[in-house]
C-alpha cells in the first residue's frame, strides 16, 4: 500500500510546473560559461563537506564551505588527474551521503552515467564541457526542473535571466566595514545624506524601495546569531555621531552594527520584503540555532521570517516556531540533501503543527559551478515529500488528492505568496 501511494504521489508531484526554487547561490549564466567544468566541480557544492569530514584535507585549515580544497578542486590550471586523485580515496566514505545522492541522480538524469569509474570519468568530463553553452541555465532550471523562479543569493542583482530573482544580504544595510566612508558612499548612490542616524535609517528605507521596485529584490538574508540586547535609539545615535567624527571605538562599532541589524529586520517588513534566515548545519552550529531569532520575531510582528534548512538539527524547534508565530515560515531548502531521512521523518510533524500555508518545500542551494545538481536535488525533494505524505495517507490522515494539494502549496503557491512573486510580472 505505502509503495503504491508513494509512487502515485511522486508521479503527481514530479508533474508540477511553475515550481519556486526558494534558495540558490547562482551567479548569472555567463559566469558558469566562463568555467571549464569537470567531475571535480560536482563535489564542490556541498559534497565537499562530506569529503572534509572524511579527512580529505585534515592537514589544512579549512572554512566550513570547503575553503582551500574547494579552490583546489575548481582550479582547472591544475591537471584533472591531480585534482581527482584528492577525491578518489574518499569516494567509498562519502558515496552514500545525501549530498552524494544528489550528484548520482544528476549524473544519471542529466548526463546519463551511473557511476564515477576510470571508464566513465573522461566521458562525463566531455559531456559536461559540451553541455556548458548558452542556454544551459534555462535548460536545467526551466526546462528539466520546470521551475518558474529561482530565488538566488550571490550578492548581486544584474541577472539577464528573468527566472533568477535576487535576495541580498541584510548586511547591505547594517554592515559598516569602512564606517563613515561606507555610509557616505551609500548615501551618494541614492543622492541622499546620512549625517545622522535618523538620516541613515531613511537612506536604508529608500534603498529597500529602490531594490524592490527597480532591481527585483524580493528579500534580504541574515544568519541566525546568539541574541544580545541592542543599544537604545539614543545610545545608537551617539555612537553614530562618534563614527562620523572618526572617534568610535571597535566595541562601539560592533554595538552600532548590531543595533542596525535589529532595525533592518523591521525595515525589511516595512518594505514588504521577506527576511530569509540561515539556521543550522555549518561548523560550530550552536551559533546558528534558529531559536536565537525568537526575540527579533516577537519584536517585529510585521516582518516575515523565512527560517531556512529546517533549522537542522533543530528540526522540531523550527516546527514549533512555525506553529507559534504568525510571522515565521519554514523553508526546507537544502534540508533534503543534508539529511534526506531526517527531513522525511520531520515532515509529518510539520503537518501536525505548522499551518500548511507557511511551508516551502524546496531550494537547491547551489552555485553556478554545479547548477545541474538542482536536477538531482529536486528529484530527491519530490520523492522525499511523496514518501512523507504517503505515510500520512496510509495512516488515513488525508486522501491522495489532499496530499497532492498540500505538496502543490509547498512547491508553488506558498513561496509565491511569501515572497510576493506576483509583483515581478
- CB of 221 vs Zn ion, minimal distance in Å: 8
Q: Which listed range, 118-126, 168-176, 222-230, 358-366, lies at the site for Zn ion (CB under 5 A)?
A: 358-366
Tell me how many degrees the CA angle 29-32-33 measures, rounded to the nearest 5.
Answer: 90
Structure-block grid coordinates of residue 89: 580515496
> Contact 209/158 with Cβ under 8 angstroms?
no
Residue whose CB is less far from Zn ion, 97 or 125: 97
State how far the Cα of 257 lies from the Cα of 280, in Å rounded to an integer.
23
Residue whose CB is less far from Zn ion, 3 or 284: 284
> Binding string to Zn ion for residues 42 to 81, with x set by CB under 5 A, is what?
----------------------------------------
DSSP state of 28: P
Residue whose CB is less far from Zn ion, 365 or 383: 365
- CB of 51 vs Zn ion, minimal distance in Å: 18
Residue whose CB is less far from Zn ion, 38 or 365: 365
Nearest Cα neighbor of 98 from 414, 394, 366, 337 is 337
- Judged by CB under 5 A, the number of residues near Zn ion is 1
Residue whose CB is less far from Zn ion, 223 or 253: 223
Residue whose CB is less far from Zn ion, 186 or 377: 377
Helices 180-190 and 197-214: crossing angle in degrees, nearest 10, is: 50
Among 317, 365, 372, 383, binds Zn ion (CB under 5 A): 365
For residue 15, the tally of other CB atoms under 10 A from its CB is: 10
Structure-block grid coordinates of residue 360: 516551502
- CB of 244 vs Zn ion, minimal distance in Å: 35
Q: Which listed range, 214-222, 291-299, 312-320, 363-371, lies at the site for Zn ion (CB under 5 A)?
A: 363-371
- CB of 20 vs Zn ion, minimal distance in Å: 15
Structure-block grid coordinates of residue 308: 531556512
Within residues 122-141, the interface with Zn ion by CB under 5 A covers none
Structure-block grid coordinates of residue 167: 535576495
State how far the Cα of 99 lies from the Cα of 263, in Å rounded to an integer.
36
- CB of 366 vs Zn ion, minimal distance in Å: 9
SS3 label, residue 77: coil
- CB of 394 vs Zn ion, minimal distance in Å: 34
SS3 label, residue 168: strand
> Contact 373/103 with Cβ under 8 angstroms?
yes
Q: Which string of b and e fits 130-152 if b means at least 16 CB within 10 Å?
A: eebeeebbebbbbebbebbbbbb
- CB of 184 vs Zn ion, minimal distance in Å: 31
Q: Which listed range, 97-105, 106-114, 284-292, 357-365, lies at the site for Zn ion (CB under 5 A)?
A: 357-365
Residue whose CB is less far from Zn ion, 27 or 116: 27
**Cα radius of gyration (the chain):** 22
Q: Which listed range, 7-15, 42-50, 110-118, 360-368, lies at the site for Zn ion (CB under 5 A)?
A: 360-368
SS3 label, residue 60: coil
DSSP state of 362: -
> Binding string to Zn ion for residues 309 to 348, with x set by CB under 5 A, is what?
----------------------------------------
The 3-state secondary structure of 246-294, one letter per residue: CCCCHHHHHHHHHHHHHHHHHHHHHCCCEEEEECCCCCCHHHHCHHHHH
Residue 212 preceded by cis peptide, ω within 30: no
- Helix then strand then coil, % of the chain, to nearest 5: 60, 10, 30
Q: Which listed range, 40-48, 299-307, 362-370, 374-382, lies at the site for Zn ion (CB under 5 A)?
A: 362-370
- CB of 408 vs Zn ion, minimal distance in Å: 24
Residue whose CB is less far from Zn ion, 128 or 281: 281
Q: Which listed range, 91-99, 245-253, 365-373, 375-383, lies at the site for Zn ion (CB under 5 A)?
A: 365-373
- CB of 280 vs Zn ion, minimal distance in Å: 11
Residue whose CB is less far from Zn ion, 322 or 363: 363
Residue whose CB is less far from Zn ion, 65 or 408: 65
Residue facing Zn ion at closest CB distance: 365
- CB of 387 vs Zn ion, minimal distance in Å: 24
Nearest Cα neighbor of 95 from 54, 57, 41, 45 is 54
Residue whose CB is less far from Zn ion, 46 or 340: 46
> Contact 16/146 with Cβ under 8 angstroms?
yes
- CB of 24 vs Zn ion, minimal distance in Å: 8
Interface contacts to Zn ion, rule CB under 5 A: 365
Amino acid at each position: 500500500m505505502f509503495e503504491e501511494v508513494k509512487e502515485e504521489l511522486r508521479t503527481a508531484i514530479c508533474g508540477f510546473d511553475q515550481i519556486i526554487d526558494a534558495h540558490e547561490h547562482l551567479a548569472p549564466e555567463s559566469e558558469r560559461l566562463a568555467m571549464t567544468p569537470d567531475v571535480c566541480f560536482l563535489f564542490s557544492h556541498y559534497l565537499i563537506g562530506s569529503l572534509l569530514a572524511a579527512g580529505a584535507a585534515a592537514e589544512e585549515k579549512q572554512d566550513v564551505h570547503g575553503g582551500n580544497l574547494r579552490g583546489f578542486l575548481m582550479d582547472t590550471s591544475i591537471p584533472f588527474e591531480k585534482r581527482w586523485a584528492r577525491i578518489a580515496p574518499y569516494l567509498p566514505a562519502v558515496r552514500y551521503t545525501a549530498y552524494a545522492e544528489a550528484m548520482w541522480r544528476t549524473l544519471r538524469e542529466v548526463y546519463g552515467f551511473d557511476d564515477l569509474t576510470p571508464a566513465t570519468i573522461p566521458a562525463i568530463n566531455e559531456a559536461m564541457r559540451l553541455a556548458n553553452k548558452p542556454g544551459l541555465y534555462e535548460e536545467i532550471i526551466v526546462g528539466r526542473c520546470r521551475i518558474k523562479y529561482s530565488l538566488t543569493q550571490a550578492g548581486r542583482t544584474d541577472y539577464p535571466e528573468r527566472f533568477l530573482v535576487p535576495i541580498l544580504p541584510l548586511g547591505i544595510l547594517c554592515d559598516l566595514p569602512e564606517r563613515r566612508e561606507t555610509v557616505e558612499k551609500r548615501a551618494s548612490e541614492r543622492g541622499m545624506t546620512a549625517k545622522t542616524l535618523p538620516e541613515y535609517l531613511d537612506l536604508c528605507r529608500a534603498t529597500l524601495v529602490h531594490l524592490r521596485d527597480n532591481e527585483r529584490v524580493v528579500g534580504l538574508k541574515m544568519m541566525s546569531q546568539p541574541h544580545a540586547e541592542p543599544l537604545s535609539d539614543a545610545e545608537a545615535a551617539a555612537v553614530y555621531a562618534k563614527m562620523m567624527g572618526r572617534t568610535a571605538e571597535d566595541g562601539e562599532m560592533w554595538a552600532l552594527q548590531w543595533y542596525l541589524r535589529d532595525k533592518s529586520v523591521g525595515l525589511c517588513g516595512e518594505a514588504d520584503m521577506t527576511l530569509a534566515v540561515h539556521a543550522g548545519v555549518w561548523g560550530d552550529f550552536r551559533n546558528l540555532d534558529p531559536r536565537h531569532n525568537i526575540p527579533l520575531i516577537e519584536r517585529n510582528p510585521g516582518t516575515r521570517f523565512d527560517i531556512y534548512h529546517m533549522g537542522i538539527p533543530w528540526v522540531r524547534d523550527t516546527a514549533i516556531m512555525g506553529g507559534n508565530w504568525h510571522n515565521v515560515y519554514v523553508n526546507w531548502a537544502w534540508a533534503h540533501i543534508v539529511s534526506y531521512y531526517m527531513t522525511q521523518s520531520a515532515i509529518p510533524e510539520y503537518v501536525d503543527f505548522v499551518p500548511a500555508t507557511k511551508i516551502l518545500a524546496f531550494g537547491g542551494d547551489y552555485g553556478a559551478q554545479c547548477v545541474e545538481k538542482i536536477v538531482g536535488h529536486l528529484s530527491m525533494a519530490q520523492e522525499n515529500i511523496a514518501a512523507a505524505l504517503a505515510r500520512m495517507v496510509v495512516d488515513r490522515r488525508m486522501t491522495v488528492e489532499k496530499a497532492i494539494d498540500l505538496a502543490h502549496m509547498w512547491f508553488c503557491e506558498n513561496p509565491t505568496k511569501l515572497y510576493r512573486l506576483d509583483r515581478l510580472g
